[in-house]
Amino acid sequence: TMQSSGHRFRDVEHHPLLAENDSYDSSSSEADMAERVWFIRDGCGMVCAIMTWLLVVYADFVVTFVMLLPSKDFWYSVINGVLFNCLAVLALSSHLRTMLTDPGAVPKGNATKEYMDNLQLKPGEVIYKCPKCCSIKPERAHHCSICKRCIRKMDHHCPWVNNCVGEKNQRFFVLFTMYIALISAHALVLCGFQFFSCVRGQWTECSDFSPPVTVILMIFLCLEGFLFLTFTAVMFGTQIHSICNDETEIERLKSEKPTWERRLRWEGMKSVFGGQPSLLWINPFAGFRIRRLLLRAKKGGPEFSV
């Protein structure tokens, strides 16, 4: 425990008393962080992220070149091809935005006397410092050992997106799980129709590939689709439940008693997705500015966590 003239530091790992928005005040370190692109250099996470993209590309290849292009029904191929590829683009875009968006990291090493004085706390008020990253710990923030930062409203660290899911990128993670579940379900339905068509036509003209190759490719796609659909559907439901109850997964697992005023269901949804319900809620490109991203990258370089 450290003491100053007006208030005290206390090294703890949870239950901070600092108000949620206090540490967003004029901090040069946080302003500098806001000008940088976020990326976590974690070997396992990067491998999982690359695998995610490869699996989506594989599914797109099988759907397009094995099932749709050889089909004699033109409109069946066009409608399903456009739908599947649009969902795939939305899924991968949501994945990128989840991975490259700062989840709500607290600046490292901001637990200084100067910064503490700027918070204008009452005499004797206790604030909490993370002993791992030497940062003032806002309310509902938790330390991530992989990101090596305290993350505001941290839900969990997901290796598949190589990032924490927190206050600023939870919306994109929800969209990622939703779109992956949708393309997985779509792929399974198309596989069912394709198997039926191939069996009925005795495997003669159902694919440009040989029957054994076609069967192997479709079996792998069915396994991938089933696993991804199960996993992402559960994650999507869990995330929506957490948002509606204003409780992160970490808070639920730790059975932390809320010291904050919980938002109502729709208030929680509007807080995460922004504003009233609209198509922007399901648009991963909303708020994205390529020019601003390039300027940030040029000015400050990527914000790495090592």
In a domain, 201, yes or no: yes
Q: What's the domain count of the chain?
A: 1
The predicted pLDDT at position 296 comes to 56
Q: Please identify every residue annotated as catalytic.
A: 158
The predicted pLDDT at position 211 comes to 86
- The mean predicted confidence, pLDDT, of the chain is 82
In a domain, 210, yes or no: yes
pLDDT digits 0-9 by tens, 160-199: 999 999 999 999 999 999 999 999 999 999 999 999 888 8
- Identify which of 300, 298, 288 has the alpha carbon closest to the alpha carbon of residue 28: 300
Q: What's the CA gap between 190 and 80, in Å, rounded? A: 9
DSSP string covering 24-78: GSS-HHHHHHHTSEEEE--HHHHHHHHHHHHHHHHHHHIIIIIIITT-S-HHHHH
Range of the structural domain that residue 272 is part of: 41-104+155-287
Q: What's the CA gap between 16 and 135, in Å, rounded? A: 12
Q: What's the CA gap between 192 and 89, in Å, rounded? A: 23
pLDDT digits 0-9 by tens, 113-139: 777 777 777 776 677 788 888 888 888
Residues found in the chain: 306
In a domain, 119, yes or no: no
In a domain, 114, yes or no: no
In a domain, 88, yes or no: yes
Low-confidence ranges of the chain (pLDDT < 70): 1-36, 124-125, 258-260, 289-306
